[in-house]
Amino acid sequence: MNFLEKRILEEGTVEPGGIIKVDSFLNHKMDIGLLNEIGAEFGRLFAEDRVDKILTVEASGIGIACIAAQYFKTDDGKMPPVVFAKKSQTLNLSNDVYHATVASYTHQNENIIRISKKYLSAGDRCLIIDDFLAAGNAVAGLCEIIKQAGAVCVGVGICVEKAFQPGGKRLLDLGIKLCSLAIIRLDDSGGIYFVRREQ
């Protein structure tokens, strides 16, 4: 059992509808020491992938992505920037954006996610980082935006994947390198256990 699986067993809970609550350390109150362990692990898993940019979706992926960026170096020796897709059209976001439509299970709505065309360029080697992978809609939306820009998705780093939802298979079927630090199944009584993906 790795550090994240251990923490999930200690503090995570399962709510009706298969909602995994890890908001005491990951996506509401954030344990910055843990985020550094997660970032270091992503740095190790994607060390050979020459990451130019880290992409995520607001809001809960942002902190994880920013901490993780510290464990990467671009070709010029700097930490890669983090670009987060925005869920709302604000006055300080121009109209010149790549966009995709994303359904959210936990929010029970649909969002258009947007990244300014200025911040994603053809050929950019992008790593997607997010807290959860369930249906895979948010990641698929980011992949769609990466494709629109002519950029490349070199991989997807996920903290918690729900094996009982289709996101993992969906990304693997697209040939995407997917690394999830904890892959959760639920037993008949709703208890959490972890599985490993066959490589």
Q: Cβ closer to a copy of itself: 94 or 101?
A: 94
Tokens representing 48 are 């050979």
Residue 123 CB, shortest distance to a copy of itself, in Å, is 16
Closer to a copy of itself at the Cβ: 93 or 172? 93
Q: Which is nearer to a copy of itself, 23 or 49 (CB)?
A: 23
Work out how close the CB of 132 gets to a copy of itself at its nearest, in angstroms, rounded to a whole number: 9
Q: Tell me the DSSP string of 135-155.
A: S-HHHHHHHHHHHHTT-EEEE
In terms of Cα–Cα distance, which of 70, 102, 72, 75 is closest to 87? 102
CB of 135 to a copy of itself, least distance (A): 14
Nearer to a copy of itself, 76 or 173 (CB): 76
Contact 176, 148 (CB under 8 A): no
Q: Which residues bind a copy of itself (CB under 8 A)?
A: 15, 17, 19-21, 23-25, 27-33, 35-36, 58-59, 62-63, 65-67, 69-70, 78-84, 86-88, 90-93, 105-108, 115-116, 118-119
Tell the smallest beta-carbon distance from residue 199 to a copy of itself (Å).
Answer: 30
What span, in angstroms and rounded, lies between the C-alpha atoms of 77 and 99?
30
Residue 116 or 165: the one with the smaller Cβ distance to a copy of itself is 116
Contact predicate 184/162, CB 8 Å = yes
Q: How far apart are CA 104 and CA 37, in angstroms?
A: 27
In whole angstroms, give the CA distance from residue 101 to residue 31: 31
CB 55 within 8 A of CB 83: yes
Least separation in angstroms between CB 198 and a copy of itself: 29
